[in-house]
Structure 1
Amino acid sequence: MLIGSDQVYPPYDYIEDGETKGLDADVMALIAPKLGLSVKFVDTRFANLISGLQAQRYDMIASALYVTPARAKVVDYIPYAKTGGSLMVRGDDSFAPKKPEELCGKRVGNLKGAAWVPELQKVSDASCASSPIQVQEYATSAEAVQALFSRGVDVVFDDAGVSQAAVTTAGGDRLRITSDEILFPIVMGIAVKKGNSALAERVDAELKGLIASGDYDKLLKKYNLAMPTPEEIQKSLTE
């Protein structure tokens, strides 16, 4: 089974010693054997993941893909975790935003195609008047962080787990997370091509079995994540 994955997105998807590692590799390592399938990851940039699935370059996307109503029109989801965003600045910067409303007039680095980009635009439209949030998108999270270091942006808005991994990797006090709660909480889903109900149902059934056994909860805690509630899943599909 071929899996589309953006493998420059630690801690969710990355390559180490020639092997795909991270949350999605760990999830597939639990599910694939129960399906009687071997897995091969196809490294694909985030913005091209869904088009690659539609073109049948792979059978499934497992790449910390956020569930949104727009994406749900073209893929079928199996929700498997929830996360959210964090604000990150240089360690020597006095600017310490906690909420998106504090980003008016600032240059904000984001992953290209990320689900929170339109959310930031909504905040900008509602709260920033003549000093809008200046959203700048990058092909990878690492490029957004590099732009922060080079002062090309004032702050990076990225997934909470990714931000924490970036702080750890940078070492010392080069980066710091300034938000003290998860922003725009969001559901992540494994995705299959729209209408591929046979595969979606098999993956969903095995996931539910892992959750019931307690094994899956242990995995999520490793990444400081949790399963979304049914209400959160429904909200992610309709708003």
Structure 2
Amino acid sequence: MKKLTAVGVAALAATLALAGCSSTAPESPASNASSVAAGAEAPDGLVDSSTVTFCIDPEYPPLEYYENGTDGEIIGFDADAARAIAAYWGKEATFEVTTFEGLQPGIQAARCDIIPGGLYMSESRLEVLDGVQYMQTGPALIVRADDDTDYTKNSDLCGLTISGQSGSENSTVAEQIASECGSGTSVDQYPKTADTVVAVVNGSADALIETDVAAADIVARSNGQLRLVSGFFPPSTQFGMFLAKDSPVTEPLREALKALYDDGTLAKIAETYNLEASNLVVD
């Protein structure tokens, strides 16, 4: 098993932390939202009627991340879509930064109106929150580049250690596979995506299950240390934007997303972050 030196692991961690930095910077968030004209009045029921408040964990490129890696403007598809939604309602967006595990409690404690994305439309989540779909997605499998195993089915992961982000649906998928495999297969959970990646690179884990849109970005930034196992998981679910159960903002959000989809705004934002506009699914 090939392992990186401590210096190499630290360098990769820094690369992942600075995932927002690239040779070609995306358009500014303002440019993506500035062309959006107010199309409807802001809905009743906002936690602060002067703004639209979004709970966000800005550590998940290309969906939401800090422009300078660890600080600065929050950018990404979800962040820019949030600004466009607020602009459609004649408001500005305010971001309530939290950890991934703090997103759902933030909604339930009325600290924000909407979680702008990066979460699966799972049955368990929809039992306690309202959700509005916006993008086709699913899990993906990442392994070290020097691992030449032909992974094609869940049983190929038996006997391995799989890493995942704590509280995520991807960790749930990993736990289900480990349960199918029985003893000898384990799941290590970490609070941040960067930690899950480093665990695979340094040999603490053998594989990582991550969302497909993030997985491609992770592999591209791994300096050749990781590879994506193509087709291991088929696209199986959708990303959704989430709100409190029975929120008065749910239907206005659905209408706003449909309008921003129809006028090409969401497609333009997807293009900005190298995402396929054809994966957008708005009902």
TM-score, with normalisation over the residues of structure 2? 0.73
**Other structure's SS at 1:93 match:** coil
Unaligned runs of 5+ in 1: 231-239
CA deviation vs aligned residue, 1:49-79 (integer Å, no higher than 9, x gap): 1011111121211131111122112211111
Bigger relative contact order, structure 1 or 2, given CA contacts below 8 A and separation 6+? 1
Instruction: Give the helix-richer structure, 1 or 2.
Output: 1
User: What's the C-alpha RMSD, in Å, of the aligned pairs?
Assistant: 2.1
Q: How does 1:73-112 map to 2 (within 5 A)?
A: 73-112=127-166
Q: CA deviation at 1:96?
A: 4.5
**Other structure's SS at 1:63 match:** strand
57-66 vs 138-147, which deviates more?
57-66
Q: Distance in 2 between matches of 1:149 and 1:174?
A: 7
**Other structure's SS at 2:151 match:** coil
CA deviation vs aligned residue, 1:99-156 (integer Å, no higher than 9, x gap): 3331111100111111133333333444x2444x311111111100111122110011
Q: Say if 2:261 is the partner of 1:211.
A: yes
Q: Distance in 1 between matches of 2:114 and 2:282?
A: 23
Q: Distance in 2 between matches of 1:87 and 1:2?
A: 33
The equivalent residue for 1:153 is 205
The equivalent residue for 1:236 is none
Q: Say if 2:70 is the partner of 1:16.
A: no
**Other structure's SS at 1:180 match:** coil
Choose from 32, 46, 53 the match for 2:100. Answer: 46
Q: CA deviation at 1:218?
A: 4.2
The equivalent residue for 2:27 is none
Q: Distance in 2 between matches of 1:59 and 1:200?
A: 10
Choose from 124, 141, 147 the match for 2:193. Answer: 141
Q: CA deviation at 1:188?
A: 1.0
Q: Distance in 2 between matches of 1:44 and 1:191?
A: 15
Unaligned runs of 5+ in 2: 1-51
Q: Distance in 1 between matches of 2:183 and 2:195?
A: 28
The equivalent residue for 1:61 is 115
Structure number with greater Rg is 2
TM-score, with normalisation over the residues of structure 1? 0.86
Q: Distance in 2 between matches of 1:62 and 1:89?
A: 29
The equivalent residue for 1:233 is none
Q: Distance in 2 between matches of 1:229 and 1:88?
A: 28
Q: CA deviation at 1:43?
A: 1.8
Q: Say if 2:251 is the partner of 1:201.
A: yes
Q: Compared with structure 1, are the counterparts of its residues 65 and 129 closer, same or farther at alpha carbon in structure 2 (3 Å cutoff)?
A: closer
The equivalent residue for 1:122 is 176
Contact 1:99–1:183 (Cα < 8 Å) also in 2: no
**Other structure's SS at 1:192 match:** strand
Name the count of aligned residue pairs: 226
Q: Compared with structure 1, are the counterparts of its residues 146 and 124 closer, same or farther at alpha carbon in structure 2 (3 Å cutoff)?
A: closer
Q: Say if 2:61 is the partner of 1:7.
A: no
Quick one: percent identity of the two aligned structures? 28
The equivalent residue for 2:91 is 37
Choose from 224, 228, 246 the match for 1:177. Answer: 228
The equivalent residue for 2:25 is none
Q: Distance in 1 between matches of 2:153 and 2:84?
A: 36
9-18 vs 98-107, which deviates more?
98-107
